[in-house]
Amino acid sequence: MILKKGDSAPDFDLYATPDQKLSLADFRGKRLILAFYPADWSPVCSDQMSLYSATLKIFHEYNAEILGISVDSKWCHMAFAQERKIHFPLLADFEPKGEVSKKYGIYDAKEGESHRALFVIDEHAIIQWSYLSPDGINPGADGILDALEEMKNAQ
């Protein structure tokens, strides 16, 4: 069951590069977008992550950072980010496989990968919006931007 608005965002500590890990605590005081996706190199995932890289400046205007998360390895992420010119961290939910995806309620045990899901988390690590997308469809950025705008207006 996907985590919903009002739930505490589970912590994580995942590789962003071959020698650097990132955790939820690293983003305290900022809004955070988590974009879980099935796999590097697939056509829909490639388009989705490229879109978010192009939208990065707009996310930053809302004091938000974005992280992509899949069960691919840190090495696979590094090659994928270079090839696709992704300018935000991709985290490896690699081993134990899918552990963070399971905490967020979006692990697909049958396929052995994350479902395509989005979470917008506030400065206090509380989920303000979540969306489970069909795996074969790019959810775009509109829902994320609407959630960020709603958070801004609520201040």
Give me the active site residues, please.
45
Instruction: Using the CB atoms, write b or e for 2-41: b if 16+ within 10 Å.
Output: bbeeebebeebebbbbeeeebebeebeeebbbbbbbbbbe
Length of the chain: 155
CA-based radius of gyration for the chain: 14
